[in-house]
Amino acid sequence: RRKPTVVLFHRAVWDRSEFDEVNNIAEMSEQSRTVMQLYLDRLVAALGPSIPVFVLPVHNAYEMVHAEDHDVFSRLYAGDGAHPSRLGSYLAALLLSSLLTGESVVGKSFWPTDSDGRLHVEMWGGPETWCPSDAWHREMWPDVPLPELDDGVAMRMQVWADRVVGRTKPDAPLIPTARELADQWWDGVQEMRQQVSRLFQSEHGMRLP
């Protein structure tokens, strides 16, 4: 039986203009992380210790790309400067792959393509209103070409993703693997059982069988 795990998608500060116009990106990012930590704390408190909750650090990846290559950074966005382009989605997918598998994404062969796999989902509309993201991009911004990905940019994005999760630093903590998540889930169950047993004993003077 599969064990539940919750992943928070951290994109609290996303728009390209916000990165370009803000004077203190470090302060902006810290405020963003503070907000995400509030979400994380609330989820952990509501779900209990048996369900692990982790953050997918997409904002951190965007921040790193912004600092090191502004041209690539601008291509992470669709024509409105807010929604992710196919490259922005690719960067998020690299982070998600790393989280789910516990493996480095450097050298992976999966690639963003011109397909119907990415959907543009409007929060105020139902599934019948959703459409492929690339088609939506072409209709909304016909003069803005879809970003292309070559081998060099793909490798850089893979390295950025690895750096964000600490895989290029031997002593840095890694995002947990699926096995580690299962172990954490079981540890949480054991802890919860012990708490229930102690409570039962304090109220009834006897241990649970």
Phi-psi region of 205 (alpha: psi -120 to 50; beta: other; left: phi over 0): left
Closest of 158, 61, 57 to residue 104, by C-alpha: 158
Using an 8 Å Cβ cutoff, are 82 and 72 in contact?
no
DSSP state of 32: H
Considering only 57-71, 82-96, 126-140, which range has the smallest mean pLDDT? 126-140
Question: So what's the pLDDT on residue 188?
Answer: 63
Who has greater pLDDT, 207 or 73?
Answer: 73
Amino acid in the structure at residue 169: K
Strand partners, 143: none
How far is residue 197 from each of residues 47, 185, 200, 206, 207, measured CA to CA in Å?
A: 19, 18, 5, 9, 6
Position 171 confidence tier, pLDDT thresholds 50, 70, 90: very low
Query: How far is residue 21's CA from residue 28's CA, in Å, rounded to a whole number?
Result: 11
Position 70 confidence tier, pLDDT thresholds 50, 70, 90: confident
Who has greater pLDDT, 2 or 84?
Answer: 84
Query: How far is residue 155's CA from residue 149's CA, in Å, rounded to a whole number?
Result: 10
55 has a pLDDT exceeding 60: yes
Question: So what's the pLDDT on residue 113?
Answer: 65
Phi-psi region of 58 (alpha: psi -120 to 50; beta: other; left: phi over 0): alpha
For the chain, what is the mean pLDDT? 75
Q: How do beta strands 6-9 and 53-56 pair?
A: parallel
12 has a pLDDT exceeding 60: no
Can you give the pTM of this predicted structure?
0.68
Interacting residues of 163 by C-beta distance below 8 A, sequence separation 6+: 64, 169
* pLDDT mean over 8-36: 70
Question: So what's the pLDDT on residue 128?
Answer: 76
Considering only 8-17, 53-62, 142-151, which range has the smallest mean pLDDT? 8-17
Measured torsion, CA atoms of residues 167, 171, 177, 180, in degrees rounded to the nearest 10: -170
As a whole-number percent, the residues of the chain with pLDDT over 70 amount to 67
* pLDDT mean over 89-111: 85
Who has greater pLDDT, 54 or 157?
Answer: 157
Beta strands in 71-151 (DSSP E): 119-120, 131-132
How far is residue 148 from each of residues 29, 97, 115, 154, measured CA to CA in Å?
A: 28, 21, 13, 10
